[in-house]
Amino acid sequence: GNSVTQMEGPVTLSEEAFLTINCTYTATGYPSLFWYVQYPGEGLQLLLKATKADDKGSNKGFEATYRKETTSFHLEKGSVQVSDSAVYFCALSSGAGSYQLTFGKGTKLSVIP
Amino acid sequence: DAGVIQSPRHEVTEMGQEVTLRCKPISGHDYLFWYRQTMMRGLELLIYFNNNVPIDDSGMPEDRFSAKMPNASFSTLKIQPSEPRDSAVYFCASSRDLRPQHFGDGTRLSIL
């Protein structure tokens, strides 16, 4: 079956530091890949997505590249801000006529001034 | 768009009671998903609907859980009888066609 593995947190960074959150996946076929972000007390929001190999998703300074050869979709940001503190979820959809998502366990990021 | 609306935001009840969680999807969305989030198991898909019809309920943990979608603008998730291990945050999400899902703010459920 499908599965997503994320680096375990929590991750604590100083403001303006570089961020990487690793994500690898196992899936049949050609899944679409997503990063969602969850701020305290809120639901998940789509941060970025990529639908095929070598696609790069980007939004709000975050980027992730769909690497089929390494089955990875690592999230990066060059300079984090305090407002980026949240839980980040990597997810995949295997398509097949639905958008059923399989999520990783989430990585909590705390950015300190 | 008003977004996905869930109610109540918080629910505290005693073991054995019936619990009903409600969801209003975004207008025009034809897929609706119910998820459960816990520290131990993360986010789990419980059930999803397409055009008000349940498509996959394999994630529903046991017969105490049931979900309905009587029309395109409303869905419920019921737990009867509730147990302490059902304590979690329950999310509803909706999407149009095969576009990414939009999540509600969740219902934090505590069963004493």
Q: Are B48 and A100 a contacting pair at CB < 8 A? A: yes
pLDDT at B101 over 80: yes
- Chain A contact for B70 (CB, 8 A cutoff): no
Task: Tell me the count of A-B CB pairs closer than 8 A.
Answer: 50
Q: Are B103 and A41 a contacting pair at CB < 8 A? A: no
Q: Are B99 and A41 a contacting pair at CB < 8 A? A: no
pLDDT band of residue B100 (cuts 50, 70, 90) is confident
- Chain A contact for B58 (CB, 8 A cutoff): no
Mean pLDDT of A8-29: 94
pLDDT band of residue B71 (cuts 50, 70, 90) is very high
Q: Which long-range contacts (CB under 8 A, 24 or more apart) does B53-56 make?
A: B55/A98, B56/A98, B56/A100
- Chain B contact for A9 (CB, 8 A cutoff): no
- Chain B contact for A34 (CB, 8 A cutoff): yes
Mean pLDDT check: name the lowest of A35-44, A59-68, A89-98, B7-16.
A89-98
- Chain A contact for B93 (CB, 8 A cutoff): yes
Q: Given this model, what pLDDT does residue B110 score? A: 97
Q: Which residues of A touch B4 (CB under 8 A)?
A: 43
Cα B93–chain centre separation:
8
Q: Are B43 and A89 a contacting pair at CB < 8 A? A: yes
Q: Given this model, what pLDDT does residue A8 score? A: 83
